[in-house]
């Protein structure tokens, strides 16, 4: 007997739901462009707005769609951990290998300062900034698994390059960088690694459980033309 595929939330619903995981990254954008003295308030406002939107959308979904949504979020979180680790390892490895002067973790204490205030001690700044960096990495990954109908290596790399475009456009002036060429190379290769690992892990997690005597079956709806890139 053929099992019906799990209902998938519509693209509009998935995009609205993605506002929550993408809110911490959006707060960085708002801080750089409009509120240079604080990251805390933009983050709180955008997270609260994203959470309210996610609650409103989720409560209208049927049970099957909620299960599919939960599966996408779990896949994004797991893939996000692996992708964020790859991103930071590649950036750190490049700086060490080529003895570059750019600091791959310069944003960590800066994030911390903008979150908890400049009077906090070094450990507090680094802790707050590192946690925020990790939340960004996880959020971007969950945003990807929510928005993209079926994960793929190419689409995940493109997702990483979109993040790179924002980074290279905004960070050099914000951080007062002089070694822009080194920063560009480090950031681009880091985001390439992020996208590649995100895609590879998300593809793996998107496969449904294997049926007895048969290959693994996808849990989501069949892909339409152009999906799964």
Structure-token match 């896949």, residue found: 75
Domain extents for the chain? 11-206
Note the residue count of the chain. 229
- pLDDT tens digits, 35-61: 999 999 999 999 999 999 999 999 999
Q: What is the pLDDT of residue 8?
A: 81
Mean pLDDT of 72-80: 97
Would you state the pLDDT for residue 4?
41
Arithmetic mean of pLDDT, 77-96: 98
Note the pLDDT tens digit of each residue in 102-147: 999 999 999 999 999 988 888 999 999 999 999 999 999 999 999 9
CB 29 within 8 A of CB 174: no
Higher pLDDT, 68 or 207: 68
pTM (two decimals) = 0.87
- % pLDDT > 90, the chain: 83
What pLDDT was estimated at residue 208? Answer: 53
- Residue 220: the pLDDT is 43
Share the mean pLDDT of the chain.
Answer: 89
**Taking the CB of residue 90, how many other CB atoms lie within 10 A of it?**
20
Cβ(124)–Cβ(108) below 8 Å: no
Residue 189 has pLDDT above 60, yes or no: yes
The predicted pLDDT at position 195 comes to 98
169 close to 116: Cβ distance less than 8 angstroms: no
């Amino acid at each position: 007997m053929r099992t019906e595929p799990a209902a998938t939330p519509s693209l509009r619903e998935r995009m609205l739901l993605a506002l929550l995981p993408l809110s911490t990254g959006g707060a960085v954008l708002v801080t750089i462009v409009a509120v240079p003295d604080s990251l805390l308030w933009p983050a709180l406002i955008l997270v609260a707005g994203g959470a309210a939107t996610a609650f409103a959308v989720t409560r209208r979904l049927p049970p099957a769609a909620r299960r599919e949504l939960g599966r996408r979020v779990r896949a994004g979180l797991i893939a996000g951990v692996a992708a964020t680790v790859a991103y930071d390892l590649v950036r750190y490895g490049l700086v060490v290998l080529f003895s570059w002067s750019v600091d791959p973790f310069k944003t960590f204490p800066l994030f911390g300062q903008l979150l908890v205030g400049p009077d906090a001690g070094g450990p507090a700044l680094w802790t707050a900034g590192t946690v925020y960096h990790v939340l960004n990495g996880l959020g971007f990954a969950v945003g990807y698994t929510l928005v993209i109908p079926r994960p793929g290596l190419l689409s995940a790399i493109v997702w990483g390059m979109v993040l790179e475009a924002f980074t290279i456009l905004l960070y050099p002036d914000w951080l007062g960088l002089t070694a822009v060429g080194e920063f560009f190379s480090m950031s681009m290769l880091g985001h390439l690694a992020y996208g590649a690992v995100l895609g590879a892990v998300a593809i793996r997690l998107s496969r449904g459980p294997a049926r007895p005597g048969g290959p693994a079956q996808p849990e989501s709806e069949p892909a339409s033309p152009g999906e799964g890139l």
